[in-house]
C-alpha cells in the first residue's frame, strides 16, 4: 500500500527541485555569489533531536561538497536561552543569507528570529513553528494535528469509546499544542476520560518519573498516550517496574526505530506508531540552498502526513541504520 500522501509528495517534489538546483553546474557555478546558510537546531537531548543533528550535519557535508560557494554553518543549543545567544552571535559575526531554524521553543525564539529576518535574511522554520508564522519564508514539518488525531481515533476504536487514560505532553511549543489539540478534539467526542495531562519535555527520564506519579495517583488506567516515542520508553519502563496490568495500550509517536520494532513484532501494548522523521531538517536545508541556486524560489508550507504505522506497513518506515 502506498502511504505517501499528497502533502508528502509536495515535499518530495520540492526537495527534488532543490536537489536538482544545487547540482554543480561547471563554469556557471563559479559565477554564483557566495552564500551563507546558518542552521540553528537543538542539541541531541533525546533520540529525535539526535536524528536532527545527524541529518543536518549530513546536509552540510553534501551541500558544501556539491556547491563550494555555499557555506552551511550548523549550530546546536541545549536550551532556548542558548539558542537565542547563538543566533545573536551568528548575526553579529556572519552576513547570513538564510537561517534554517528548528526552534527550541516557539515563544522564546520568535522575537530573535524576527530580528534576524529584519536584516533581509531568508527564514526557513522546521518542525516547531514560530508564534508569528508571517516571519517565515519556508516551513517544513509533519502534520502534528494528524499525529494526535490519528492516534486518538485508533485508541478510541480499541477502547470502544470509553475508559480512562493519561497523557504526557512534550515541550511548550506550537507542535505540542497541535498534537494535543488533534488528540483531545477526537477524545472529546467519546466517553473516554483524560485523567491527567502534564509536560515531560520529550525526555525519557522525565516521562519515567511522571508516569510513576500517574501510577501512584490512579489505581486504574486503561491507556497512555506519550505524544513522543522517547517519552514512551520511559512510560513503558515505569509501567513494567510497577507491574501494572490494567494498562491495555501505551502509545507514542515519531516512528523511532526501536518502537517500530515493537510494532513489527506485533506488540500488544504498543501495536502502532505515527511517523515524524527528523530528516525533515535535511529537506529544509536542501530547499533553502535551492532558493539561492538556479533561480528556484522555495516558499510556502510543506507538511508530511502522519498515517498509522502498523505491523502491515511497518517495513516502509523502518530504517535500521538511522540514528532514530
| Cα–Cα dist 298/24, whole Å | 19
* pLDDT given for residue 4 in this prediction: 40
Can you read off the three cell numbers belonging to residue 151?
492516534
Question: Taking the model in full, what pTM does it have?
Answer: 0.76
| Residue 15 CB burial class (10 angstroms; 0-12, 13-18, ≥19) | buried
Orientation angle between helical segments 6-21 and 280-292, nearest 10 degrees: 50
How would you list the strands of the sheet with 35-42, edge to edge?
A: 70-77, 35-42, 98-101, 122-126, 138-142, 300-304
- Distant-in-sequence, close-in-space partners of 31: CB < 8 Å, separation ≥ 6: none
* pLDDT given for residue 11 in this prediction: 53
Q: What Cα–Cα distance (Å) separates residue 157 from each residue in 154, 185, 207?
A: 5, 15, 25
Closest CA to 291 of 185, 128, 140: 140
For every one of its 324 residues, what pLDDT tens digit does the chain have, with 9 covering 90 and above? 443 444 444 454 455 445 555 544 443 444 468 999 999 999 988 788 888 999 999 999 999 999 899 999 999 999 999 999 999 999 998 899 999 999 998 899 999 999 999 999 999 999 988 999 999 999 999 999 999 999 999 999 999 999 999 999 998 888 899 999 999 999 999 999 999 999 999 999 999 999 999 999 999 999 999 999 999 999 999 999 999 999 999 999 999 999 999 999 999 999 999 999 898 999 999 999 998 886 678 889 998 889 999 999 999 989 887 788
- Based on C-alpha coordinates, what's the Rg of the chain? 21
> How much helix, strand and coil, in percent to the nearest 5, is found in the chain?
45, 20, 35
* pLDDT given for residue 32 in this prediction: 67
* pLDDT given for residue 19 in this prediction: 53
Amino acid at each position: 500500500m502506498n502511504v505517501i500522501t499528497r502533502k508528502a509528495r509536495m515535499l518530495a517534489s520540492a526537495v527534488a527541485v532543490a536537489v536538482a538546483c544545487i547540482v554543480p553546474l561547471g563554469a556557471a557555478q563559479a559565477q554564483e555569489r557566495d552564500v551563507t546558510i546558518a542552521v540553528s537546531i537543538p542539541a541531541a537531548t533525546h533520540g529525535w533531536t539526535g536524528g536532527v543533528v545527524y541529518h543536518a550535519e549530513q546536509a552540510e557535508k553534501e551541500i558544501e561538497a556539491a556547491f563550494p560557494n555555499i557555506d552551511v554553518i550548523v549550530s546546536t543549543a541545549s536550551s532556548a536561552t542558548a539558542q537565542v545567544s547563538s543566533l545573536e552571535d551568528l548575526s553579529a559575526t556572519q552576513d547570513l543569507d538564510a537561517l534554517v531554524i528548528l526552534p527550541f521553543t516557539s515563544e522564546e525564539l520568535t522575537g530573535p528570529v524576527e530580528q534576524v529576518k529584519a536584516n533581509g535574511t531568508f527564514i526557513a522554520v522546521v518542525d516547531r513553528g514560530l508564534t508569528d508564522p508571517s516571519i517565515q519564508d519556508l516551513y517544513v514539518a509533519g502534520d502534528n494535528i494528524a499525529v494526535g488525531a490519528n492516534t486518538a481515533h485508533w485508541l478510541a476504536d480499541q477502547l470502544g469509546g470509553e475508559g480512562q487514560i493519561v497523557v504526557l505532553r512534550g515541550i511548550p511549543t506550537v507542535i505540542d499544542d497541535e498534537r494535543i489539540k488533534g488528540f483531545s478534539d477526537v477524545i472529546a467526542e467519546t466517553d473516554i476520560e483524560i485523567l491527567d495531562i502534564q509536560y515531560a519535555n520529550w525526555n525519557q527520564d522525565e516521562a519515567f518519573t511522571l508516569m510513576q506519579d500517574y501510577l501512584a495517583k490512579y489505581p486504574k488506567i486503561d491507556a497512555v498516550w506519550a505524544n513522543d516515542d522517547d517519552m514512551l520508553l520511559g512510560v513503558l519502563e515505569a509501567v513494567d517496574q510497577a507491574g501494572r496490568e490494567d494498562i491495555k495500550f501505551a502509545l507514542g509517536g515519531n516512528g523511532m526505530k526501536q518502537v517500530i520494532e515493537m510494532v513489527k513484532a506485533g506488540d500488544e501494548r504498543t501495536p502502532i506508531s505515527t511517523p515524524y522523521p527528523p530528516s525533515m531538517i535535511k529537506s529544509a536545508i536542501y530547499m533553502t540552498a535551492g532558493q539561492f541556486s538556479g533561480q528556484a524560489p522555495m516558499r510556502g508550507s510543506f507538511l508530511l502526513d502522519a498515517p498509522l504505522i502498523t505491523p502491515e506497513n511497518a517495513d516502509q518506515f523502518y530504517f535500521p541504520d538511522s540514528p532514530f
